[in-house]
């Protein structure tokens, strides 16, 4: 058996091509079942497709670094399942945050009938605008696209050419920063 260090670059390209062909064959066979399995968890066709694509791409990119003792199909099913569960968990967390934001806004806007309450609401809006202006540029852009334009995280990721995970992370940072700044302004 030839020593890998002595193999020619052409031999390495041929091995990579064989590996790519084998991976493509497995993906073609498994993709519908992976998408169906993920859909059962997330209940969203587009999210399921994104999750499967992300898992396949990550597996391909890490093909030299990962060990798959059980074989590729079980590994891909587990990778997709884990990503789907993360998606559901993050969606629930986002929904709780949105619900909290709506409740606070309704409380402030709904009770603003007296001059004092109008002043408090105006002051809160000023503090909120200042807090948004103080966000890091990327977090501010993602926050405004989500809250002002009503875009989904997938739409924002596509628009900005970043991953959905980046959008989630930046949104989480933005909300945490806004909460801290609003809490500090009350003291």
CATH classification of the domain holding 10? 1.10.1740.10
- Continuous segment of H or E residues that includes residue 1: none
Reduced DSSP (H G I as helix, E B as strand, rest coil) percent helix, strand, coil of the chain, to 5: 80, 0, 20
For 161-170, write each residue's pLDDT tens digit. 889 999 999 9
**Parent domain of 28:** 4-86
In this prediction, residue 5 has a pLDDT band, given cuts at 50, 70 and 90, of very low
CA torsion through residues 161, 22, 38, 64, sign: negative
Mean pLDDT calculated for residue range 139-165: 86
Residues 118 and 165 in one domain: yes
CATH classification of the domain holding 129? 1.10.10.10
In a domain, 162, yes or no: yes
Q: Model-level pTM?
A: 0.47
Place of tokens 């193999």: 7
Residues 131 and 181 in one domain: yes
In a domain, 50, yes or no: yes
Residues 72 and 121 in one domain: no
Residues 123 and 167 in one domain: yes
Which residue has better confidence, 89 or 94? 89
In this prediction, residue 4 has a pLDDT band, given cuts at 50, 70 and 90, of very low
Overall number of domains in the chain = 2
Give 118-121 contacts, CB < 8 A, sequence gap 24+: none
* Distances 158 to 50, 145, 165 between C-alpha atoms, Å: 11, 12, 12
């Amino acid at each position: 058996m030839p020593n890998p260090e002595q193999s020619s670059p052409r031999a390495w390209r041929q091995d990579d091509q064989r590996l790519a062909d084998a991976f493509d064959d497995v993906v073609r066979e498994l993709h519908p079942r992976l998408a169906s399995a993920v859909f059962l968890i997330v209940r969203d066709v587009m999210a399921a497709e994104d999750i499967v694509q992300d898992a396949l791409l990550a597996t391909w990119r890490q093909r030299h670094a990962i060990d798959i003792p059980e074989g590729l199909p079980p590994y891909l099913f587990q990778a997709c399942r884990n990503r789907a569960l993360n998606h559901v968990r993050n969606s629930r967390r986002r929904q709780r945050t949105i619900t909290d934001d709506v409740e606070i806004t309704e409380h402030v806007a709904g009770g603003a009938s007296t001059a004092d309450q109008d002043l408090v609401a105006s002051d809160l809006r000023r503090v909120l605008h200042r807090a948004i202006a103080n966000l890091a540029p990327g977090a501010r852009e993602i926050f405004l696209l989500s809250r002002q334009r009503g875009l989904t995280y997938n739409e924002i990721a596509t628009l900005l050419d970043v991953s959905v995970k980046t959008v989630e992370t930046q949104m989480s940072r933005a909300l945490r920063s806004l909460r801290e700044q609003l809490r500090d302004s009350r003291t």
